[in-house]
Amino acid sequence: MKIVVVGAGLGGVSAAAGLRRAGHEVTLCERGAELREAGTAIVIMPNGVRALDSLGLADHVRDQAMPAVSGGLRDWRGRPLLVTDVADAQRTVGAVSVMSRTELHRALRAPLPAECVRTATPIDALEPDADGVTVTSDGRAIARADAVIVADGIASGLRGRLFPGHPGLRQVGRLDLRGMLPNPPGLDVTELLAGILIDRRSGSMFGLFPVGDDVLYWFTDSALGSAPPPEAGEARQRLSSLMADWHPVVPALIEATPVADIYVDAVACLAEPLPSFAVGRIALLGDAAHAMTPDLGQGASQAFEDAAAVTRHLAGAEPADVAERLLAYDAERRPRANRLMRASARQSRLTSQTGAPAWLRDALLRAIPQRLATRRLAAMWHA
């Protein structure tokens, strides 16, 4: 079949590679001038690794498996609140991988030949009829497809065209900063690796993961307020002041990260779940389908699950089968992705609490046995 994939982010390139490997004629359309992925690092949960494995794309990812560490939630000074045995969870359901987003994108797109990629090609309309879908860029038809996979990201324009009554994105009122740097000499970060620090005073959080042997990836979440997101330099200064009395590793890493290597985003998610991930011959994938807050680290892994599922459901399909096959994809993926979208929103509310509710939260977290916390973590990683 002829399949057009719109959007060349991590989910789009993995879907395109998987569908092409399954024998379809795939065209990947990307609005940017080149295929690339900017940013810092990415944490791929075991369910995401398994999804990439089913697409034949997991070799490089498995090489970046995270070492055995203890994770969980800690207070701003690094004192344990909810400790999980990440090593035990990984033995149960598979390894977590942490790697550069740029390297991951390069590995996922490697199987795609140049002739199946069209860059500088923004897709502004999809026109379905009984026999297929006409794909339009800048007001002119550029392709005819038996199926179209929409993977154009959190700000998807095609999502709004397919569901004109949907409210779209909702700003959460939180600011996300991410940075990556070599481990500074003399700084012992072992205690905090794969953990999240939360502050009941301000509702802020800080997470830290290893990338390979000597690189660190950190991320934060703090109140944004009504102002637009600040530039990276101002954001780093604001964060350094806010977290000056946290565990010493936290301000040290923030200060040691060059401004050019810090990424700033206002956190957003879908205001409400979509009524379907499939409309006739068109399916949505990744953030275009289920943009969620980053609190569970499942955004990319859910996109990879989408890519694996849509590839599996379209395997061996004829053009006449597409609508039915995509309905099966929707029935498989929408309940799980939307459940995690809701769970991420709950986690965001939990970790950003302040005042008396936060004191109670911390007390309750300390009372949860490590074995139970580890079991719940493994359950979330089990697709």
CA distance 376 to 18: 30
**Helix ranges (DSSP H) in the chain:** 10-21, 46-54, 59-62, 86-93, 101-109, 157-162, 232-242, 249-256, 287-290, 299-314, 322-351, 355-367, 370-381
CB 21 within 8 A of CB 111: yes
Q: 2-60+99-169+270-351 has which fold?
A: FAD/NAD(P)-binding domain (3.50.50)
CA distance 316 to 321: 9
Give SS3 for 202: coil
**What residue segments make up the domains of the chain, in order of their start?**
2-60+99-169+270-351
Low-confidence stretches of the chain (pLDDT < 50) are none
| Per-residue pLDDT reduced to its tens digit, 237-267 | 999 999 999 999 999 999 999 999 999 999 9
* CB within 8 Å of 65: residues ≥ 6 apart: 95, 96, 97
The continuous run of DSSP H or E covering 217 comes out as strand 215-223
DSSP-derived secondary structure for 319-349: GGGHHHHHHHHHHHHHHHHHHHHHHHHHHHH
What pLDDT, on a 0 to 100 scale, did the predictor assign at position 255? 95
**Helix ranges (DSSP H) in 128-231:** 157-162
| Per-residue pLDDT reduced to its tens digit, 204-220 | 999 999 998 899 999 99
| Residue bearing tokens 């550069």 | 100
| Nearest 10 degrees: Cα torsion 128, 129, 130, 131 | -70
Bridge partners (DSSP) listed for residue 221:
176, 205
